[in-house]
Amino acid sequence: MPETRCRLENPLNKSIREDVAAIATRLCDGGAGALSSLYDRSAPRLLRYAETLTKNRADAEDALQSGLVRIARKPRLLARADQPWAYLVRVVRNEALKILKKRRTGSSL
């Protein structure tokens, strides 16, 4: 029986990284439907990640929306990133953290 080794890199992750990189280039070039494609390809994972951070579905949706608005306004930042998928995750993470910060400061007043 051949020895099986645990692969550190999930092929699904590689696929999404490649897809986001290709979509980022299309988005930067003004490709029709590129933002929609980016949402369709990445939203389920980004939403789960944001919900993990915020512990709230509505806040997670807001973080995802805000992150994609930031990308739509400055698509070159995503296209020029060394790792566009990681950049996109970071943008959504930062938006989720902003929401958490607002929630904390709002509840302490």
Sequence ranges of the domains in the chain: 11-107
Structure tokens at 67: 């992150």
Q: Does domain 11-107 have CATH number 3.40.190.10?
A: no
- Contacts of residue 66, defined as CB under 8 A and 6 or more positions apart, other chains included, come to 95, 98
User: How confident is residue 7, by pLDDT bands cut at 50, 70 and 90?
Assistant: very low
How many whole angstroms separate alpha carbon 107 and alpha carbon 109? 6
Query: In 3D, which of 58, 30, 64, 68 has the Cα closest to residue 45?
Result: 64
- Summarize pLDDT for 24-73 with one digit per residue, the tens: 999 988 877 999 999 999 999 999 999 999 999 999 999 999 999 999 99
**pTM for the structure as a whole:** 0.82
Question: In angstroms, rounded to a whole number, what is the distance separating the alpha carbons of residues 35 and 32?
Answer: 8
Distance CA 8, CA 13 (A): 11
